[in-house]
Structure 1
Amino acid sequence: MTGAVFRSLVAAALLVTLPLALAVAVSAQRGRLFTQSRDHPAIQYSTHKTTDRVALLNASLDAGSTSLAFNPESGYLRSVLQALRVPIESQSLVYSQTSSQGAFISRRNPRALFFNDAIAVGWVRGAPQLELAALDPEMGVIFYTLEQRSADRPRFKRDDSCLECHQTPDTLGVPGYFVMSVFSVPAASDKYSYATGEATDHRSPLTDRWGGWYVTGHSPEPHLGNLPIAATPAAVKRASRELDSLGGEFDTKGYPSTQSDIAALMVLEHQTHMTNLLTRMGWESRIAASAPRSGATPQARPRPGTGAPIDPVKDTAQELVDYMLFVDEAPFPGRVRGSPGFAQKFAEAGPVDSKGRSLRQISLERRLMRYPCSYMIYSDAFDALPALAKDAVYERLWQLLSGREKGGVYARLSLADRRDVVEILKETKKGVPGYFTTPAQ
C-alpha cells in the first residue's frame, strides 16, 4: 500500500491507499486529539508485541494448528471469516474507488466489508489482497493484508502504511477506524483529489450518511446511499432510493450475501468512534501512569473560559461515557428496518441477564439500541484499560446512570433506561463497582 490511504471505506479501516487520490474528510464532530507519538515509551505501537486476533491466527498458521482454504471465487475470504468468527450477515458494500485497489472497484464490483467487535475484513472481487484491521486490546487498531494467492501456509502481513490516513483527526489521533460518506470532486478540481465527504457515526443525521455505499433496508428519511457518487449532496438527497436486495444492482457472484444491511452499517458507525475513544483512553492513561518514571505527561490544554488545565484522562472518560450512553445520538423520525439476519447474529454474540435483556439488542425504533449503553464495554480493549482509566470511566458512568446529572442532553436518559442499564451491567459485566445500585429516581 502506497500513497494516501483510503478514506472512505470505513471503519474497518481496512484500507488502503490511493495512488493519486486523496479523499478529504470534513467532520465537525471530532473530539480532542491524542497528540503524543504512537511510539511513546508507554505505548510503543510499532514494536510492542500484539495480541489481536489476526496476530493470534498468524501464530496458529505458523504452528500448523490452523489452516485456511482457498476458493477460486473469493480466495481466502470465507475461510478467514470463519477462522476469525466474523459473520457473513455483517456484509457492508462500498463502491467509491478510494483504495489502492480502486481499479477493481465500481458500482458493479463494490468492496465488501465484514466485521465483528474486534475485526474488520475487506474483500474486493478479483483484487490481489484481502485487507484486515484488528483491534489489539492495548495498541488499538493494527492493519494487515493477505495475498489472494493459494499458498501452503498463507500469512497475514502487518502494514503500518495504512496509518497515513488511519491515524488522523478522524480517528482522534490514534490508529483507528472511521466510516466515510463520500462525494466526488468535480473534474476541474485538483488532479490529486478524488472525493470529499465526512466521517459519520451515531451522532450523524441519517440524511448525511452512506454516500458511496450500498444500503439495503428501509430508512424513515432520505439518505445518500445507493446513488452515483458523481452528484452534489443536495441532488443525491432529493433522489434517495431504497433497496431490499442487491441482486438487481450487479452480478453478486462470489459475494457471500446480497445484502448491505442498514442496521449493520449503523452498528459499524457506532463502533468505529467507540473503538477510537477506547484506544485514546488507554493510551492517555498509560502515559499518565508512566509519568513518574518517564517525566512525560499527556499534553494538557486550558479549558475554554477558565484557563484551568484539562485532565486528559478525566476529559476523555467524560467524552467516552457520553458516547457510550448514546446521549449524543442523532434521533430519527421513525422506524429503520434492517435485515433480521444481522440483528439476530449480533444479539447472539453477547451476554444476557436473568430477564433476557442484552446490550446487543438492536431497536431501530427512533434509536439504534434497545438499551442505551454500548456493547463495547464487554470488549477486550475496555477490559485492558489501566485502573486509572477504568476508575474514571466507571465514576462517570455512575454519575449519569444514578441521575446525579440529568439536565441538558442527559435528560434523554430516562429513569427506565438508567435502571435497565445498571441492572444489565451488574449481572453481565465483571468488574462493575459495588456502588452501582439501582437508581431510585
Structure 2
Amino acid sequence: MPSGVWLRRAAILVLAMGAAAGLGAQRRDAFSASREHPAIAYAEREGDNRVRRLSAALERGAARLSFDEAHGRGYLPSLLDALGISPESQLLVFSETSRQAKQINPGHPRAIYFDDSVDIGWVPGGEHLEIAAHDPEQGVVFYTLAQRGGEKPRIARDVSCLLCHLSWDTLAVPGLMTLSTFPMSDDPYAYANGVVVDHRTPVPERWGGWYVTGRLVPAQHMGNAPVIRPAAELAKPPAAPPKLESIARVLPNAGVYLSPHSDVAALMVLNHQTHATNLLTWVGWETRVALAQGAPLDRVDDAVRELVDYFLFVDEAPLPQPIEGAPEFAAAFAARGPRDGAGRSLRQLDLTTRLMRFPCSYMIYNAAFDALPGVAREKIYSRLWRVLSGEDHDRRYARLSAADRRAVIEILCATKAKLPAYFE
C-alpha cells in the first residue's frame, strides 16, 4: 500500500532531502545515496531529454513557440505541439498541491497533460508552465516556462520542485506522484490526510482533489467533491461522487481548457506511470552508484524485484466495475503501439477488471529503461523470465495466468529490441 502523506492547504508538506546524504541509506526500499553522488551529479548534469533538447533549440533559434493571448493559454498549446503531447491526456486537479496553489480551487483547477516521459502543468492565468521531464539517466528533471508574451520564451530548470518531488514517496529520487486528498475541515489551520496513489491503491481511495469524467466511472471514489468542507459535513457518511461526462457541468470557464474531459482512463494510466517512472530511476541510480563504488549489487537486486513485480501488475488493485472514458484518449494511447504480428500491444487498455489487457507495463519501452546500465537490464530481464516462464513458483505470481504470461513473452519477442535470446 502506498504510504500516507500530509497535505497542507497551500502545499504538500513532505520531507525535503538535502544534497549531503541520501535518506535511502536508512532503508532498503529507496535510493541509498545522495543525488549529488559523482555517479549521479543530479544538479550539475543537464541530461538529455526532450524538454532539454527543445530548450536548446529555442535558445539557438532553431525552434519557436507561439503565444496564445486570445484564449489566455499562453505557450501551452504550442508547447504541447512541440513535444507531441496530446490535449486529450488532460487531467484536472483542484487540490492546492502546486507552487501556484493560491490560484487553484474547485472552480479553477490546474490542468495536467502528459505522455510516457513528459508532464506539463498549467493553471489558467498562472505565471508559468510547470514541466517535468523523465530524463533517461538523470531521473525526473523539472523546468518552468514563464507565461509572458512579447519576449523570447526560455525553459528554465527549477530544482525548487524537489521540495515536494524528492521524498520517501518518490523512492528518494527526483520523481513523480499522484495524490488523493482526503476531505478536510474548513478550519484555516487544518491539515488534510491523503495517500500517494499508484495502481496498487484501491479505487475507492483514489482521486481526492481531482475531477474524474467518463462514460463509466466506479461508483465509489474520492473525486469530484470538495476537499475542504464544513466540520459538520465531515461527520456524515461520504456521499457517492457526482457523475461527470464533461467538465462543462461544473466549471463555468470550461471553454478555456483544451479538452472537456478529465478522463478516468487517462487518470488510471497516470496513476500507474508515476511510480513506474520512479522505479526506473531508482534501479538506474542504485546500479550506477554500486558500479562506481565497486560495491555488491544486493540493493540493485532489491530494486529490480520491486520494478519487475510492479511492471507485471502483481499487486494491482482490481477494478470494482468496468471503466470507460472518452474514446479519444484510449484510442490515442493504444495507437502508439508497438504491436506484434497478431496486432497485440502492451498499450492495449482493458479497464474491465484491470488497467491493461496484457499484464506487463508499456514503460518497458521507455528510453530510461534502455539507458539502464547493462547489468541492471540483464537482471530485470532475468527476473522477468523467471516469473513469466513459471520458474518462480511464489504464490504472489499465481494471478498471472498461463495465457497472459505466454502473450507477454510473445509480444516482447516481437516488439522489444535486444531482448535476451532465452526469451525466444
Q: Structure 1 length as normaliser, TM-score?
A: 0.87
Corresponding residue for residue 375 of structure 1? 362
Aligned counterpart for 1:51 among listed residues 35, 48, 52: 48
Question: In structure 2, do the counterparts of structure 1 residues 264 and 38 end up closer, same or farther at CA, with 3 Å as the change threshold?
Answer: same
CA contact (8 A) 2:181 2:192 kept: yes
Q: Does 1:223 align with 2:221?
A: yes
1:238 maps to 239
Which whole-Å CA distance do the structure 2 matches of 1:401 and 1:338 have between them?
31
Alignment partners' CA distance in 2, 1:131 and 1:318? 32
Change (3 A) 1:234 1:423: farther
Q: Give me the whole-angstrom Cα distance separating, in 1, the residues matched to 2:173 and 2:236.
A: 35
RMSD: 2.2
- Listed one character per residue, the Cα deviations across residues 379-403 of structure 1 (whole Å, up to 9, x for unaligned) are 0000000011101100100000101
Aligned-partner Cα distance in 1 for 2:326–2:203:
17
Q: What is the match of residue 110 of structure 2? A: 111
Counterpart residue number, 1:176? 175
1:139-160 per-position Cα deviation (integer Å, ceiling 9, x unaligned): 0000011000014421111000
- Aligned partner of 1:257 in structure 2 is 259
- Name 1:303's counterpart in structure 2: none
Q: Which amino acid letter does the alignment assign opposite residue 274 of structure 1?
A: A
1:350 shift after superposition: 2.5
**Pairing 1:86-125 to 2, within 5 Å after superposition:** 86-125=85-124
Could you tell me which amino acid in structure 2 is paired with residue 393 of structure 1? I
Q: Which runs of 5+ in 2 are unaligned?
A: 16-26
The answer to whether 1:359 aligns with 2:346 is yes
> What are the equivalent positions in structure 2 for 1:35-434 lying under 5 Å apart?
35-72=32-69, 73-188=72-187, 191=189, 194-217=191-214, 218-231=216-229, 237-250=238-251, 251-292=253-294, 297=295, 311-434=298-421
- Would you say the 8 A contact 1:92–1:259 is kept in 2? yes
How many residues are aligned here?
402
The residue identity in structure 1 corresponding to 2:227 is: I
Which one-letter code corresponds to 2:53 in the other structure?
Answer: L
Q: Structure 1 unaligned runs (5+)?
A: 1-5, 9-17, 299-309
Instruction: Give the Cα separation in 1 of the matches to 2:305 and 2:66.
Output: 45
Compared with structure 1, are the counterparts of its residues 81 and 167 closer, same or farther at alpha carbon in structure 2 (3 Å cutoff)? same
Shift of 1:96: 1.0
CA contact (8 A) 1:184 1:194 kept: no
Q: 1:236 to 1:55 in 2, by over 3 A?
A: farther
Instruction: Provide the rounded CA distance (Å) in 1 between the counterparts of 2:234 and 2:197.
Output: 15
Per the normalisation by structure 2, the TM-score is 0.90
Find the aligned partners of 2:32 and 2:96 in 1 and give their Cα distance: 30
For 2:305 and 2:343, the matched residues in 1 are separated by 29
Distance (Å, rounded) in 1 between the aligned partners of 2:218 and 2:64:
45
Q: Partner amino acid for 2:285? A: W
Residues 345 and 7 of structure 1: CA distance in aligned 2, closer, same or farther (over 3 Å): farther
8 Å CA contact 1:133–1:143 kept in 2: the answer is yes
- Structure 2 SS opposite 1:412: coil
Distance 1:333 1:194, change over 3 A: closer
User: Matches of 2:158 and 2:350 in 1, distance apart?
Assistant: 37
Instruction: Report what 1:15 is aligned to.
Output: none
CA 1:235–1:222 in structure 2 vs 1: closer, same or farther (change >3 Å)? farther
**How many Å separate the matches in 2 of 1:233 and 1:42?**
49
* Letter paired with 1:246: I
Which amino acid counterpart does residue 427 of structure 1 have in structure 2?
A
Structure 1 residue 225 displacement after superposition: 0.5
Q: Give, as a single letter, the amino acid of the residue that structure 2 aligns with 1:241.
A: P
Deviation for aligned residue 1:48 = 1.3
Contact 2:139 2:174 in 1 (8 A): yes
Residues 103-112 or 270-279, more deviating: 103-112
Supply the distance in 1 between the matched residues of 2:210 and 2:285 (Cα, whole angstroms): 32
Change (3 A) 1:60 1:236: farther
Once the two structures are TM-superposed, the CA of residue 49 in structure 1 deviates from its matched residue by 2.8
State the Cα distance separating 1:64 from its structure 2 match: 1.0
Q: Deviations over 1:52-96 (max 9, x none)?
A: 111000111112111000001200000000001111111000011
Letter in 1 for 2:423: F
In 2, are the aligned partners of 1:31 and 1:172 still within 8 Å (CA)?
no
Residue in 2 that maps onto 1:12: none
Give the secondary-structure state (helix, strand or coil) at the position aligned to 1:199: strand
2: CA distance, partners of 1:36 / 1:180: 26
Output the amino acid matched with 1:327.
V
Specify the SS of the correspondent of 1:271: helix
Give the aligned partner of residue 24 of structure 2. Answer: none
Could you say if the C-alpha distance between residues 31 and 324 of structure 1 is closer, same or farther in structure 2, counting changes exceeding 3 Å? farther
Q: 2:276 corresponds to which letter in structure 1?
A: M
Q: Which runs of 4+ in 1 moved over 4 A?
A: 18-21, 231-237
Kindly indicate whether the alpha-carbon contact (under 8 Å) linking 2:176 and 2:275 is maintained by their aligned counterparts in 1.
yes
Query: Is the Cα contact below 8 Å between 1:90 and 1:115 reproduced in 2?
Result: yes
Structure-1 separation of matches of 2:323 and 2:108 = 26
